[in-house]
Structure 1
Amino acid sequence: MRRLNSAKSTASWADAVQPARPTLAAAATPRMPGLDRCPRPAYSLRRLFPTPPPTEIRVIVSPATPAVSLWRRPGLLAYMGSWACSSAGLAMQQLLLVWLLAGVLALPADRVGPLQAAIGLPGVIIMLWGGANADRTDARAILTRVFGAAALVPFGLVLALELGGLNVWTVTVWGLGISAALSFSSPAQQAVLNRIAGRDLQRGVTAATAISMFTYMIGLRVAGQLDSFGLRQVLLAQSLCLAAAALWIRRIGSQPANDGEAGAPAWRRIVDGFRASYRQRAVFDAMTVNFVSSIFNAGAFFTVLPFIVLRVYDGDVELLSWLMIMFFAGAVFSNLIMLRFMPFQQPGRWFVVLQLSRILVLFLIWIEPAWWLVVTASVAWGLNMGVTTTLARAIVQEAAEPQTRGRVMSVFGIGLLGAPLIGAIILGWIVEEYGALAGLVPGMAASVLLFVYSMAATGLWRYRSA
């Protein structure tokens, strides 16, 4: 609807649509009996031209609507470069960790799962600490220091290799170092994205997720060449990625604190993050569903899938890396499609419905089909994960209060990081007791229960984006 530029034009347009005044002759004409009892139609501008919905008003005439394209926002490209490099380093760590434990050191599944949990568990507490700091200090300075320190960690495992000390302890220390650094940096990364993307947050989250998953595939491909390149070269590549992340993030402007309680103790700020997450209904619902889903689905991907490749299909680390690449290719594709149609007015509905679609994907892998069908199912699994994870993150980020957003995102990050660790323990035991394919069954059951819970006990179906 075109806006009118002056009161004069508005008045003339209003006069044009008003009914003509009756003439004197018409006024003198006698009326039919009972005619005065019939209600007259209300000829008004409000009736003829009803007010558009509130969302339409915000998009069309709100002065707060961003006039700058997402990709032209200052600092966005540097942020995406840092996010991409850190994602590649994380991908190398996740693939190398599980393969060094299961493939090189030949540990059983019921030991690999608890070790994965032990390596990731400190990151849960560290992420809470990082969330408290993300609201209190310059997030750019935090990320520069953390990525710079993380770039030195792979050299410790290289030194252990040179001294002939590759064992469970050295691999665990290396895993702890990378996990702690990336966990501490995650809330600060989310806080920086919120300040750069502004009101275009849904598209910002989706673009960042797509880029990170694309570079995640590159990191998986590099780590998958472990047998060809050698562990030393892969670790050096990981160090370069983390160093590049530190250099990229230095290119954005300073990110001042966004919290008026900067002097509060860290433990109180962490507690406030949990309270804020619980207080906001949309945030709590999205976190709950995503956390339970990640226990059995992300846990299955990181713990069960390597043993399916190793034991059922007699594969190696390169075959596992290709399967993971196909998974994340599906995730990238789904995020690019979402980027075309965003912003969604009701993202919670897609998030709820897609909980069910995961059942078919896991079922196809569970029946032990031909390898090409496993690859196809992995792509579909990635499509599903790309949508659900991105929507959950977008709902939480846009619904969280600005002054506690860093702490809320650290609580959300706990779900992404901690849930697969719980799943690693549970599913690792199931794999060792009942076989690799049995580890997929809990994920199918959880998907059904989460759909029912989301429809019956949450407000996700009715959630409307701001």
Structure 2
Amino acid sequence: MGLRARARATFADTRPLQNPHFRRLWLANIVTVIGAQLTVVAVPAQIYAITRSSAMVGVAGLFALVPLVVGGLYGGALADHMDRRRLLVVTTTGIIAASALFCLQAVLDLRNVWLLLGILALQQAFFALNQPARAAILPRLIPPEQLPAGNALNMTVMQFGAIAGPLAGGALIPVLGYAALYAADTVLLLATLWAVVRLPAMPPTTVATGRVGLGHVLDGLRYLRLHTVLLMSFVVDLIAMVFGMPRALFPQVGHEVFGGPLEGGIAFALLMAAIPLGAALGGVFSGWVSRVRRQGLAVIVSVVVWGLGIGGAGLVFLAAGRVDGSVQLGQRGLEGTPALQVLLVLAVAALAVAGAADMASAAFRSTMLQEAAEDDVRGRLQGVFFVVVVGGPRIADVVHGGAGSALGPGVATAGGGLLVVVLVIVAALAVPAFVRYQVAR
């Protein structure tokens, strides 16, 4: 095997970047994802600073969940009914407008958590309408054999942004304030708008008649119900996210467990960046994903590793809570407690392992859906996929926020990771066809 072949087998497969439209979208994502993650960090940090409640941070998940579910399902139907390029232009413009509203409320220093949650709901509605079309265009841009590589490349750049955003955001909030982060997100989103405007027209493959309604959405759900393997790919991801995504607890963990400032700080930033860090590293070394044929089994293994990583992080939180426990909160910081520094590194490492496993799981599940679905229902199925992928963590925000307030963040995180492992194994045993699923190459 030559040097080039070995590199392709080890590192990310970059063949999809030869397509100019895919390349523009991918390059635009490099900057816009960083901006988006600045907002992802700023919103929970601002809510926690206003309310000092992890439960209230979890409530933000509810305000995002409803527009995500409704918008994702309806957006999928729209993506099968109208020109996907036009839909992307309109919804991207809406996302930019919502980011500008985030910035405005911060500049005015309104400190109104309900206004903040309302803007979040608006932003998530536009985001949900956008994403099914964005995913559904991929099979029109690159050939089927490049879909795993294309999905891995997209997820890798998203995760690199998710590293830089939390690290910069968590560190800069105490210095620059929330308004600066929201403003950066608004400006950086213009790159994505430029990329989608340059896309070719992508009208439906079949003639669309009438208005998009509930019937179109239900048609997609009926299609999914008849395909057990695709349905199970959603079930296992819901298990992984609902029980294993403790991000709503990170403001509390950073402040109370690792002694960081209330407004954010280094510990909070590292915790927020840890899962994306692992996912990004997994994406860099994702050359192997295109060679895996037993994708169902690969998903199950990946989700089990995810659960173990999250559970391990929870155990570290419990251990860190007992370090310097006699020192009053606010009088200890990372720079003065070497034991906490070590435990923080261990927590970040455990979360990074989980992130790498999640990247692999997402790449396989995306490819399974894009290859198995026909183009005239692909948008609707991508809408369901989006609802599961994004809605699951929002439900987790509520579940973990409440559990963290009642039981403590360590118990909530460790217990959630254990539940993921148990439930996904039960699901695999209940539907062996999913474990046996493989693709022909």
Q: TM-score range by the shorter chain?
A: 0.7 to 0.9
For 2:38, give the aligned amino acid: M
Q: Is the 1:293–1:446 contact (alpha carbons within 8 Å) kept by the matching residues of 2?
A: yes
Alignment of 1:200-219 (within 5 A): 200-219=146-165
Is this contact kept in 1: 2:304–2:420, CA < 8 A? no
User: Is residue 275 of structure 2 the alignment partner of residue 327 of structure 1?
Assistant: yes
Check 1:146–1:363 CA distance in 2 against 1; reply closer, same or farther (3 A cut): closer
2:353 matched residue in structure 1: 380
Distance 1:343 1:91 in 2: 31
Question: Which residue pairs with 1:220 in the alignment?
Answer: 166
Which stretch of the first structure deviates more once superposed, 235-244 or 116-125?
116-125
- 1:341 positional shift: 4.7
Tell me the CA shift for residue 332 of structure 1.
Answer: 1.1
Q: Deviations over 1:315-356 (max 9, x none)?
A: 242322223223212101112222345142111111112232
Matched residues in 2 for 1:86 and 1:192: separation?
19
Query: What residue number does 1:275 align with?
Result: 222
How far 1:134 moved relative to its partner?
Answer: 0.8
Residues 77-156 of structure 1 correspond to what in structure 2 (within 5 A)? 77-102=23-48, 104-156=49-101
Identify if the C-alpha distance between structure 1 residues 414 and 341 changes in structure 2 by more than 3 Å, giving closer, same or farther.
Answer: closer
Deviation by residue 1:293-329 (Cα, 9 ceiling, x = unmatched): 211113x2x2133322222112242322223223212
**Aligned partner of residue 222 in structure 1, secondary structure:** helix
Counterpart amino acid of residue 377 in structure 1 = A
Deviation for aligned residue 1:274 = 0.9
Contact 1:74 1:196 in 2 (8 A): no
The question of 1:175 aligning with 2:120 is answered: yes
Tell me whether 162-171 or 191-200 shows the greater mean CA deviation: 162-171
Q: CA deviation at 1:262?
A: 4.4
* Cα displacement (A) at 1:446: 2.5
- Identical positions, percent: 20
Question: C-alpha distance in 2, partners of 1:154/1:446?
Answer: 34
In 2, are the aligned partners of 1:223 and 1:321 still within 8 Å (CA)?
yes
In 2, distance between residues paired with 1:203 and 1:459?
25
Contact 2:54 2:402 survives alignment (8 Å): yes
Q: Which amino acid aligns with 1:287?
A: F
Aligned to 1:444: 418
AA aligned opposite 2:43? L
CA separation of 1:365/1:326 partners in 2, compared to 1, >3 Å: closer, same or farther? closer
**Residue pair 1:151, 1:239 contacting (<8 A) in 2 also:** yes
| 2:183 paired with 1:236 | yes
Q: Which residue of 2 aligns with 1:360?
A: 308
Rate the CA distance shift 1:158–1:75 in 2: closer, same or farther, 3 A.
closer
Decide which of 193, 196, 202 is 1:249's aligned counterpart. Answer: 196
Q: Normalized against structure 1, the TM-score is what?
A: 0.80
Q: Which moved more, 1:126-135 or 1:208-217?
A: 208-217
What are the superposed Cα offsets for residues 387-436 of structure 1, whole Å, 9 maximum, x if unpaired?
12222222222222221011001001111122222222222221111111
RMSD of Structure 2 on Structure 1 (CA): 2.1
Task: Quickly say closer, same or farther: Cα 1:276–1:240, change in 2 above 3 A.
Answer: same
Equivalent residue, structure 2, for 1:20: none
Contact 2:82 2:208 (C-alpha < 8 Å) held by counterparts: no
1-side partners of 2:111 and 2:164: how far apart? 25
AA in 2 matched with 1:350: A
Conserved 8 A contact 2:313-2:348: no
Distance in 1, matches of 2:212 and 2:128, equals 20
Contact 1:203/1:343, CA 8 A, preserved across alignment: no
TM-superposed CA distance for 1:163, in Å, is: 3.4
Counterpart CA distance in 1 for 2:256 and 2:21 is 46
Q: CA deviation at 1:261?
A: 4.1
Q: Deviations over 1:236-294 (max 9, x none)?
A: 10001222211121122222223444436421111111111111222111111112221
- Asked whether the 8 Å contact 2:98–2:122 carries over to 1, the reply is yes
Residue type of the alignment partner of 1:439:
A
AA partner of residue 380 (structure 2): R
* Contact 1:135/1:403, CA 8 A, preserved across alignment: yes
User: Is contact 2:88–2:134 with CA below 8 Å preserved after alignment?
Assistant: yes
Deviation track 1:89-145 (CA, whole Å, cap 9, x = no partner) reads 43222211211111x213322232123212332221011111111111121121122
Structure 1's 167 and 83: CA in aligned 2 closer, same or farther, altered over 3 A?
same
Flag structure 2 segments of 5+ consecutive residues without an equivalent.
Answer: 1-13, 320-342
1:455 to 417, 420, 429: 429
Q: 2: CA distance between counterparts of 1:91 and 1:351? A: 26
2:103 to 134, 158, 161: 158
* Structure that is richer in helix per residue: 2
Q: What letter corresponds to residue 167 of structure 2 in structure 1?
A: R
Residues 162 and 92 of structure 1: is their aligned pair in 2 closer, same or farther, counting only changes over 3 Å?
closer
TM-score, normalised by the number of residues in structure 2: 0.84
Pairs within 5 Å for 1:175-194: 175-194=120-139
Q: 1:432 aligns with which of 405, 409, 418?
A: 405
Once residues 131 and 154 of structure 1 are traced to their aligned partners in structure 2, the CA distance between those partners, rounded to angstroms, is 23
CA distance in 2, matches of 1:82, 1:431: 37
How many angstroms apart in 2 are the aligned matches of 1:69 and 1:158?
Answer: 38
Q: Secondary structure of 1:342's match?
A: helix
Q: Write the letter of the residue equivalent to 1:214.
A: F
CA pair 221-249 structure 1, distance change in 2 beyond 3 A: farther
The amino acid across from 1:400 in the alignment is A
Q: CA 1:228 to 1:290, structure 2 compared with 1: closer, same or farther past 3 Å?
A: same
Give unmatched runs, 5+ long, in structure 1: 1-67
SS in 1 for 2:367: helix
SS at match of 1:152: helix
